[in-house]
Structure 1
Amino acid sequence: MSNPPSPSPANWFKSLRRTRLGEPCLKTYPLQYEEQLKRARVSFQARRSIKENFRLAQLEAVLRMLEEHECDFVDALGRDLHKPRFETVVSELIPVKNEALHAISNLKKWMQPQQVERNLSTTLDECLVVNEPLGVVFIMGTWCSPVQMCLVPLVGAIAAGNCAIISPSVCTAHTAALLQRLIPSYLDNECFHVILAGTNDLADIVELKFDHVFFSGTREEGSRIAQAAAQCLTPITLVLGGKNPCYVDQHCDITITAQRIAWARFHNSGQSLVAPDYILCHSDVKTRLVQALKCCLMRFYGSDPRESSSFCRMVNLDIFNRTKDLLWRSGKVVLGGQVTEAEKYIAPTILTEVDESDPIMQQDLFGPVLPVLSVNNVDETIAFINKQEKPLCVYVYSNNSKVISRVMSETSSGSFCSNDSTLQSLIVTLPFGGVGASGIGAYHGRYSFDTFSHRKSCLLRSTHLECVTSLRYPPYDDRNLSLITWGSSLSWKSQGWCHIL
């Protein structure tokens, strides 16, 4: 067996720049993982990534990369997922640009120390919260959104002043190769690195000890990452898949509801962490909704979606076969169901007569299949949702604000959206992340900055008021204790807290 390429950084980057779109990805070897981490840590310790002008320059470089290579990203995602240009620009590139522009506009404000309220004993002192970068962070993207889920967290890591190692999903090989080629050409080569590793290698890489790990993907993979991170006490952010319920009330605009659900479910051929996984439809409108969904799919993709330039393909045969198996063992097909293995094609499919015990309701779904279940009222919906693991998203379609309010307040999920789907996961001013089985932590905008920052509490004291401070010193006596208690009681009445000690 031939020896692997030299882990020398110079040789690695030389090889990296030879990589071109359409060629096999350049595998990163274990010694190179350690080498990249070492180089990034040296750069961070030299405070290379901390200055505001450096952060701004890197954020602007991300924007230039997306603008100058838009066609390359469209081509790569077209090869990997048969993804239309429209979907690539709207769901992959624009969200990253929005994040970068938002960070550039707000970076100075985010970096400033935050003054906090003072009390009686700190009247002459300064109380601050200082945001400091964590260090070297590891960002693992998912094949569902291979550009967005790598670069949106990267924007937050850069804004917070960190160095980063990025691992795009090798399932989308052409996109991974493109990121591997472009990022060293635009971002600082000492602070930011790209490695290509298989899913089975990720847990071992996490054990190299990063300062934070950001992972998006399936629950199974996330569990392995969390266990590996726990071994070395590495903080993590997990954005995980799950079963996202969508309730359709009897009081809603069925036509608009069907359009928005169909777009969200069948966008990217259903390969999404945030798409509705199943519909809980009020029995009074189920027939109308199913018919409206059929009409939408005909309008979106024509009579033969396989010929549509607007419909994607499954990312690989593993996901194709898994989805096909779930489809064929669950419910009744009322539209679609056709599969073509050679093209990794599964037609947009609607299922009815689905039972809660069916395989498609028990496992995460990454494919163009939409199960429709019947419920009799909102109480039944809430009970159904609460029986399951906490999802990443909950969706409600209703014209009744009380129904929306009830589902929002009586269920727990990473995010919630009424009368639309997935958009809450793209808004830079809203935190996005999971809860319970659907993940840990949040990101987007200021929340990404906070995720990749340590909020350090700082008390800048003076040596004045020693006459008060001296009450805490030994030898202890009841008189000093009485004075401290009296001072605290005065503060409780006015502010609610005091710390003379």
Structure 2
Amino acid sequence: MAAETVSDLRKAFRSGKTKDIEYRIEQLTALKKLINENVEALTNAVFKDLGKCKTESMLFEIDMLETEIEECLKNIYKWTAPDYVSKTLMYKPMTCYINKEPLGVVLIIGAWNFPINLTLMPLIGAIVAGNCAIVKPSEISPVTAHLLAEMVPKYLDQECYRVVCGGVKETTEILEERFDKIFYTGSGNVGKIAMTAAAKFLTPVVLELGGKNPAYVSDDADLEITANRIAWAKFTNCGQFCIAPDHIICSKVVQDKLANCLKESIESFYGTVVAKSPDYGRIVNERHFERIEALLEDNCEIFFGGLRDKDTLFFSPTILLNVSKDAKCMQDEIFGPILPIVTVESEEEALEFVNSRPKPLSLYLFTSSGERIRKWRNETSSGSFAANDCVIQGGLSTLPFGGVGPSGTGNYHGKFSFEAFTHQKSCLEAPLRLVEGANHRMRYPPYTERKLAWARWIIFGKGGSCNIL
């Protein structure tokens, strides 16, 4: 089945229809129509899968997608136009440019925590770049997955865009096929599987993974504002958010004050009985509930929260104090509503702690010092960096979204989505009938020192040099 689907899409791509700019505009417009006409159905599906309130779905799923499509429609002619490059003397009679061409047939494997956004956002990039695509929604958010499988064929051209549902078996079958790019969002473990499958065909990949995103809170930070911003970012979508702060690093003095501020922030957001809040989500399924629950070791110091109900998948916002750097919750990405606070003796110890661990998807810093912001930005490595706020850097389409090292490879959003699914082909057009003067003949054998000097000057410019393989 997978082989047949890929074969059909290759045939459609070879027809050239997706290369037509007007066709791409038509498909993007249709995708926007899908979203606009089915807001209630989409947000209800996400609520059934994750208990996510409509406001969160509108902000992080619907509105982000609409904005992305609008930006693509606004810029498609500029992005797809050839980029003409500067030239040295020898190349003056020639036309030299970069041509933007689609890669071909791409595979997009979506994630369950934002099941609309993380499935359709990369599809927007594939469409605007002129590709055919297979879209595989996550089976862990089944209601949304089946809704997308039902809706997409009603709005998009089925010859060029297919949705395939299923679990591990179906994903494994799809990964046996050759694609021109694989775009995967999810865990690092499955990312390794996708990358291994891609390596068989030397297929390029974009891996949007995760990591333990640290938030360092300096002694000079405004703790009330810091608490509001960290609590909102951490507990949105019940902590199931790849760029949410995973843990806080601060001094012991800051920890004692910040913990109380975080408690106040949580209660102001969700009330004193969080389970009754219409704005607080749920854990996606029992397996993930058990995984998160296992992070609460017998000896961990729960300052706030820790309430949970497996039957309803409710897990309250939970703050842990004085957490050891070797604690169970500090080993892997939490991806849930547990917020450990690790104390350090100095800022240098905090930097050393961050730099000694795998590069995170995002790194956060709270401080009043511009010098400290520059220091942390320059002395750490992460997919993104934000000072005095969390998460919102992922909503600006002019910033690339992606990880580094174990937190991912490649990026997207806005023009970066177009580039993720585009081959930038170097093109040169030389006049064939032009009489060959000295600037051409000097590159032909037999060589002399004089020819070498002229060649270096004409081809590379005065004082220039280059290696030609």
TM interval, shorter chain, is: over 0.9
Q: 1:335 to 1:499 in 2, by over 3 A?
A: closer
Cα deviation code 1:127-184 (max 9, x no counterpart): 1100000001100111111111111111111000001110010100110011011100
Correspondence list, 1:346-425, <5 A: 346-425=315-394
Query: What residue number does 1:134 align with?
Result: 103
Q: 1:325 to 1:54 in 2, by over 3 A?
A: same
Q: Distance in 2 between matches of 1:71 and 1:454?
A: 37
Q: Distance in 1 between matches of 2:298 and 2:441?
A: 75
Query: What residue number does 1:459 align with?
Result: 428
Query: What residue number does 1:469 align with?
Result: 440
Q: 1:330 to 1:430 in 2, by over 3 A?
A: farther
Q: Distance in 1 between matches of 2:170 and 2:8?
A: 20
Task: Compute the displacement of 1:462 (Å).
Answer: 1.3
Q: Distance in 2 between matches of 1:224 and 1:200?
A: 13
Task: Compute the displacement of 1:311 (Å).
Answer: 0.7
Partners of 1:351 and 1:371 within 8 A in 2:
yes
Of 195, 213, 217 in structure 1, the residue corresponding to residue 164 of structure 2 is: 195
Cα deviation code 1:469-498 (max 9, x no counterpart): 233333x232xx422324424776647347
Under a length normalisation based on structure 1, what TM-score does the superposition of the two structures give? 0.90
Q: 1:413 to 1:365 in 2, by over 3 A?
A: same
Partners of 1:277 and 1:370 within 8 A in 2:
yes
Q: Distance in 1 between matches of 2:66 and 2:300?
A: 41
| 1:178 and 2:135 correspond | no
Q: Distance in 1 between matches of 2:21 and 2:292?
A: 46
SS of 2:272's equivalent in the other structure is coil
Q: Distance in 1 between matches of 2:431 and 2:197?
A: 44
Alignment-mate amino acid for residue 485 of structure 1: A
Under a length normalisation based on structure 2, what TM-score does the superposition of the two structures give? 0.96
Of 240, 263, 276 in structure 2, the residue corresponding to residue 271 of structure 1 is: 240
Task: Compute the displacement of 1:285 (Å).
Answer: 1.7
SS of 1:456's equivalent in the other structure is strand
Q: 1:370 to 1:153 in 2, by over 3 A?
A: same
Q: Distance in 2 between matches of 1:122 and 1:490?
A: 9
Query: What residue number does 1:44 align with?
Result: 13
Of 142, 148, 158 in structure 1, the residue corresponding to residue 117 of structure 2 is: 148
Q: Distance in 1 between matches of 2:305 and 2:264?
A: 12
Alignment-mate amino acid for residue 310 of structure 1: D
Alignment-mate amino acid for residue 200 of structure 2: Q
Q: Distance in 2 between matches of 1:462 and 1:498?
A: 23
**How many residues of Structure 1 are paired with residues of Structure 2 in the alignment?**
467
Unmatched 5+ stretches in structure 2: none
Of 447, 451, 460 in structure 2, the residue corresponding to residue 483 of structure 1 is: 451
Query: What residue number does 2:41 align with?
Result: 72
| 1:441 and 2:384 correspond | no
Partners of 2:110 and 2:184 within 8 A in 1:
yes
> What's the % identity of the aligned pairs?
38
| 1:338 and 2:307 correspond | yes
Partners of 2:90 and 2:459 within 8 A in 1:
no
SS of 1:184's equivalent in the other structure is helix
Q: Distance in 2 between matches of 1:462 and 1:499?
A: 24
Of 202, 206, 214 in structure 2, the residue corresponding to residue 245 of structure 1 is: 214
Q: 1:492 to 1:50 in 2, by over 3 A?
A: closer
Task: Compute the displacement of 1:230 (Å).
Answer: 0.5
Cα deviation code 1:108-144 (max 9, x no counterpart): 0001000011111101001110000000110011111
Query: What residue number does 1:213 align with?
Result: 182
Q: Distance in 1 between matches of 2:214 and 2:36?
A: 36
Moved more, 375-384 or 357-366: 375-384
Task: Compute the displacement of 1:301 (Å).
Answer: 1.1
Task: Compute the displacement of 1:396 (Å).
Answer: 0.5
Partners of 2:296 and 2:329 within 8 A in 1:
yes
Alignment-mate amino acid for residue 396 of structure 2: I
